[in-house]
Amino acid sequence: MMSNLIDKIGDWNPQLLRELKGRFKFFHVAIVVATSLLLQLVVFLYQLREFPGDEYPRTGVYCRLRQVYLQQQNRVHHQSNKSKISNFCPQNEIDLQLWWRDHWEYIFLTFSVIFVFTLLVAGTYLLINDLAKEETRGTLNFIRLSPQSETTILTGKLLGVPSLIYLIILVAVPLHLWSGLSAKIAFNYILSYYAILAASCTFFYSAALLFGLMSRWFSGFQPWLGSGAVFLFLYITLMLASNDSNGLNNSTAWFRLFSPWDTTRYLFPNVFNRYTSYYMQNWQFFHLPLGKNVVSVVGFHLLNFGLCSYGILQALKRCFRNPQASIINKKQSYLLVAFCQLMMWGFALQFRKDNYRWDEAVGQNHIWLALYNLALILSLIAVLSPHRQDVQDWARYRHQEVSSHKSVWQDLIWAEKSPALVAIAINLTIVTIPWLVWISVTSVIDANGVRTLLSNEIDRFKTLLVIALSISLMMIYATITQLILLLKTPKRSFWAIGTLGAVTFLPPMILEIIGISSWKHPTVWMFTTSPWAAIEHVGVITVFMALLADLSVLALLNFQLTRQVRLAGESATKALLAGR
């Protein structure tokens, strides 16, 4: 029977069979099972240490005489009666049924937290470490040459590499499930937790594989870096979920969806010693009340994990066969930016009080939205900008595709080897559309007669100019990055990323250090990546002149870029005859 099962696994996924054969040795399995059983015993005995014995105090939670004793104690304290009252609760007055219920609940919640850290942190480490070893031994290239599809190989990795971690959890699941049912926790809530945990594993494991493929320069430090980042993320979100009562009422809520803690707290409020999940009951997405029932909360989490895992899988397929390929292409970048805007603005359009206007809610989140989009656009500039050889191939052989009636603009929008400026401009347009909608519908004076963020039409126009200024700055950075990648110097990627980071972050840092603050010298800040910091202290004319200056620089840079692309596309014979 076992041999038939192994044969079926091999027929379905040869890569999974390879991973399981390398790990499911008798000694390894015995150690894993013993470790899981020992952990269960330790957790059970640790909770059992507080079993109410003969000296259980009358003030204890499980003593039925607790209220009577407290009243007697108060009377004795106020009167001069010195008679002593026994400090211990009689055994027949101890509510053992309630104690065992809470005892099983503590065990259930303890394992719920252990499962998350064990699966996500240890599993991430094993996956990245496995890829690093395959790369070192040279077997990863052998796998790439396999006739199996990318989906089959990656599925085999996801299921096979952390298989011993799965075994640890599976051995502990019966006790976890029994303790949950003994604690009177609804079975559908427990299944919802398992679904969220499985979706979290799929997302983090897929991201771990992508990180392992794209971070070869970290050498042996890859596994520690990846698993450490996951552990830090889980720890921070654990602290936020346990202490923050309004953490999901802003645009940062989307990033907390990638952690299972908020859902775990919603399903099991006592996991963080909080006896209410009220903070999530007001959770909204475009004013849709997601937090009103379990189905919407769990369903939205699963949908988010599913869409993001699918996107990572597409990136894995691109990078697995060809490690030099970019993570995403231009078409996928448009979908990515649109999806990010949908999620970030969806959580920005909610508020903590019923009398908050949605435009005020955006006003409170506009800094976060600007920072997220800045990081997103900078990442796309680094990912989408092609290198010299790709641009040279596109410029030299593009004329061969004339028969397909493809225009230059179509190539600039869709072709991977064409310069990325048009693609970056389209992504910036997608980012800008929600801002324009917000500005157009935001009222100057709200219903209570209080001025909003945009207090008059001049502020509206100035805000539009600052948005245009930000777009022009991003296009300048994209053009500079593309020009550097067209150079013949070695390590062009390093210089491009370094220059992009320097022009983005160094100017505002230097200005702050030398004392040129945004409110003292706002004109200078118009030429940095933070023009929003000085918008309240400049006039419309100043912003307009800064925009004209940026557009002039952008035109000159694009003229130089067009010339470089044309030269790169010339044949070697033509360049030699021209003296180049």
CA atoms within a 13 Å half-sphere pointing along the CA-CB vector of 65: 16
DSSP label of 25: -
Sign of the Cα pseudo-torsion (496, 497, 502, 503, in order): positive
| Predicted pLDDT of residue 449 | 42
Q: Is residue 369 part of a domain?
A: yes
Strand partners, 63: 94
> In sequence order, which residues have a C-beta less than 8 Å from that of residue 197 and are 6 or more positions away?
115, 116, 119, 260
Domain that holds residue 487: 330-577
CA dist 554 and 110 (Å) reads 57
**Do 216 and 141 sit in the same domain of this protein?**
yes
Q: Which of 267, 288, 315 is at the close of a domain? A: 315
Residue 323 lies in a domain: no
**pLDDT at residue number 127:** 94
Same-domain check for residues 389 and 468: yes
Residue 3 belongs to some domain of the structure: no
Q: State residue 208's pLDDT score.
A: 94
Instruction: Report if pTM > 0.85.
Output: yes
500 and 370 both lie in a single domain = yes
* Bridge partner residues of 451 (DSSP): 445
* 14 within a domain of the structure (yes/no): no
Nearest Cα neighbor of 298 from 204, 195, 200 is 195
Residues 33 and 76 in one domain: no
Number of domains in the chain: 3
* Interval 99-149: pLDDT, tens: 888 889 999 999 999 999 999 999 999 999 999 888 888 888 888 888 888
Which residue has 């620089």 as its token pair? 553
My answer on whether 416 and 303 are in the same domain is: no
- Tokens read off for 168: 């640890």
Is 13 inside any structural domain? no
Instruction: Indicate if 376 and 525 belong to the same structural domain.
Output: yes
| 419-457: burial string, b at 16+ Cβ within 10 Å, e else | bbbbbbebbbebbbebbeebbeebeeeeeeeeebebeee
Same domain, 252 and 198: yes
The predicted-structure confidence for 273-322, as pLDDT tens digits, reads as follows 554 455 677 788 888 888 888 899 999 999 999 999 999 999 999 888 88
Residue where one domain finishes, among candidates 66, 93, 120? 93
Within this chain, do residues 285 and 353 fall inside the same structural domain, yes or no?
Answer: no
As separate numbers, helices (DSSP H) first and strands (DSSP E) second, the chain gives 25, 2
Instruction: Give the pLDDT confidence of 474-526 residue by residue, as tens digits.
Output: 999 999 999 999 988 888 888 998 999 998 888 888 888 888 887 778 888 88
Q: How far apart are the C-alpha atoms of 375 and 243, rounded to whole Å?
A: 28
- Rounded CA-CA distance 194/188 in Å is 10
Residues of the chain with pLDDT under 70: 1-7, 58-59, 65-86, 217-219, 244-247, 272-279, 351-364, 399-406, 442-458, 571-580
User: What is the residue-wise DSSP string for 507-570?
Assistant: HHHHHHHTT--TTTSHHHHTTSS-GGGGGGGS-HHHHHHHHHHHHHHHHHHHHHHHHHHHHHTS
Is residue 12, in this structure, part of any structural domain at all? no
pLDDT score at 446: 44
Of 93, 121, 154, the residue that ends a domain is: 93
Same domain, 521 and 552: yes
Q: Do 175 and 107 touch, CB atoms closer than 8 A?
A: yes
For the chain, helix, strand, coil in percent to 5 are: 75, 0, 25
Q: What is the pLDDT of residue 287?
A: 82
Q: Is 242 within a domain? A: yes
Residues 397 and 524 placed together within one structural domain of the fold = yes
146 and 213 share a domain? yes
Q: Is residue 372 part of a domain?
A: yes
Whether residue 209 sits in one domain with residue 149: yes
